């Protein structure tokens, strides 16, 4: 079965039918990215993307991982963005030049042929989706390189069986990314989302930005106009200004609606690509029990005003994560826990 045919049948299996591609959108072929949904393991993706550079890259990544604990120890507090890990890695000569990019262990790519306009951290909230990871990496790395951005990919992994807390992982990913490099902006990216137009620019212009204008599974539309989930970007300063995301949404749903509300409350104007530029395909999967609905979400959404300034980056606490560098990404594995309840917040 071709990847497109298998994708069509998988989508059909969910009850959604893709409209015929030729009728539904007309992205010029040099701008259209075709997701490789057959990308099966990260090792295969590494072999494909690095070719002859892989052994050397892997050696440098291993050396950087051995040095990492001593660099991390220098940090004083979790919210003090140290901005020093990548500097130290560079000073230790652990970077490798691959074609027109320099690669630092942990998937940090820096263009050599131009002065990049933006440094972008891609933060992916994650748990157990190991089958999605190679497909996602295979897709996004070439896209960002074609856009000549300086970028890095951080997988923010929840290391426990509590309900999934996407928003808190995004906060952690943001804070941890800034310990590596002083990024200009952060793009929060669900692992099952695949941008299909190379013109969907991930630079920090026009932030806050919702990068999706239509989804294949929604017949190239959005579920609702105010949707702010899936793939969303903010500058570093904007993220601090809105106090990041709430930490108290455990389970599926609502946290992205509160995120949108925080952006609005600060009078920040959200942008979105127009038409086909913002089309996304998704890696279709069954909803499973590890991610049950958050029954409290409607109640929480009714009390956003009480928590905006007190629930977010301002009260974020977590144990030291396990950080592991890989050739294409940095894994931040963290045992996030419920934070103390503030008596001024309504119980939900």
Q: Among candidates 268, 254, 235, which has minimal Cα distance to 307? A: 254
User: Smallest distance, Å, CB 189 to ligand BGC?
Assistant: 14
Cβ distance to ligand BGC smaller for residue 174 or 259: 259
* Stretch in the footprint of ligand BGC (CB under 6 A) among 46-54, 56-64, 82-90, 249-257: 249-257
Of 300-339, which residues contact ligand BGC (CB under 6 A)?
none
Rounded-to-integer distance, Cα 25 and Cα 22, Å: 6
Extended beta strands in the chain, E state: 96-98, 101-104, 108-111, 119-126, 150-158, 185-189, 193-195, 209-210, 214-215, 231-235, 279-282, 322-325, 330-334
Which of 253, 273, 278, 312 is in the footprint of ligand BGC by CB under 6 A? Answer: 253
Distances from the Cα of 187 to the Cα of 28, 67, 145, 208, 323, angstroms = 25, 27, 15, 10, 20
User: Smallest distance, Å, CB 253 to ligand BGC?
Assistant: 4
* Stretch in the footprint of ligand BGC (CB under 6 A) among 94-102, 251-259, 268-276, 340-348: 251-259
Structure tokens belonging to residue 227: 């949707």
Asked if 223 touches ligand BGC (CB under 6 A), the answer is: yes
Cβ distance to ligand BGC smaller for residue 176 or 256: 256
Cβ distance to ligand BGC smaller for residue 110 or 231: 231
DSSP 8-state symbol, 222: -
Asked if 190 touches ligand BGC (CB under 6 A), the answer is: no
Asked if 214 touches ligand BGC (CB under 6 A), the answer is: no
Asked if 254 touches ligand BGC (CB under 6 A), the answer is: yes
Cβ distance to ligand BGC smaller for residue 256 or 276: 256
Structure tokens belonging to residue 69: 């604990």
The number of residues that bind ligand BGC (CB under 6 A) is: 6
User: Smallest distance, Å, CB 327 to ligand BGC?
Assistant: 31
Structure tokens belonging to residue 43: 């090792």
Instruction: Count the helix, strand and coil residues of the chain and give each as a percent rounded to the nearest 5.
Output: 35, 20, 45
User: Smallest distance, Å, CB 234 to ligand BGC?
Assistant: 17
User: Smallest distance, Å, CB 180 to ligand BGC?
Assistant: 28
Paired with 209 in beta bridges are: 233, 271
Which of 150, 190, 257, 311 is in the footprint of ligand BGC by CB under 6 A? Answer: 257
Distances from the Cα of 205 to the Cα of 120, 208, 234, 237, angstroms = 11, 9, 9, 13
Residues at the interface with ligand BGC (CB under 6 A): 223, 229, 253-254, 256-257
């Amino acid at each position: 079965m071709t990847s497109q045919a298998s994708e069509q049948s998988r989508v059909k299996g969910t009850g959604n039918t893709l409209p015929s591609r030729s009728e539904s959108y007309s992205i010029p072929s040099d701008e259209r990215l075709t997701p490789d949904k057959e990308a099966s393991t990260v090792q295969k993706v590494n072999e494909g993307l690095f070719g002859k550079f892989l052994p050397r890259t892997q050696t440098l990544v291993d050396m950087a991982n051995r040095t990492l604990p001593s660099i991390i120890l220098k940090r004083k507090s979790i919210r003090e963005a140290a901005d020093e890990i990548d500097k130290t890695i560079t000073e230790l000569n652990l970077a490798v030049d691959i074609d027109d990019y320099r690669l630092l262990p942990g998937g940090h790519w820096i263009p050599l042929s131009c002065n990049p306009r933006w440094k972008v951290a891609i933060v992916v909230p994650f748990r157990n989706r190991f089958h999605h990871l190679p497909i996602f990496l295979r897709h996004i790395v070439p896209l960002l390189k074609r856009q000549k951005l300086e970028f890095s990919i951080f997988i923010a992994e929840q290391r426990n069986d509590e309900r999934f807390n996407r928003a808190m992982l995004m906060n952690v990913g943001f804070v941890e990314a800034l310990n590596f490099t002083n990024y200009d902006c952060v793009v929060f990216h669900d692992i099952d989302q695949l941008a299909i137009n190379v013109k969907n620019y991930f630079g920090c212009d026009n932030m806050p930005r919702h990068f999706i204008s239509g989804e294949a599974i929604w017949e190239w539309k959005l579920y609702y106009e105010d949707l702010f989930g899936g793939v969303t970007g903010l500058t570093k300063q904007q993220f601090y200004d809105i106090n990041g995301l709430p930490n108290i949404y455990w389970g599926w749903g609502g946290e992205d609606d509160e995120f949108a509300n925080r952006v609005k409350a600060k009078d920040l104007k959200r942008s979105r690509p127009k038409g086909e530029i913002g089309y996304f395909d998704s890696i279709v999967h069954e909803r499973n029990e590890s991610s049950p609905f958050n029954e409290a979400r409607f109640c929480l959404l009714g009390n956003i005003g009480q928590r905006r300034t007190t629930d977010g980056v301002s009260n974020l606490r977590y144990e030291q994560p396990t950080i592991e560098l890989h050739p294409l990404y940095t894994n931040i594995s963290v045992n996030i826990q419920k934070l103390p309840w503030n008596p001024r917040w309504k119980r939900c």
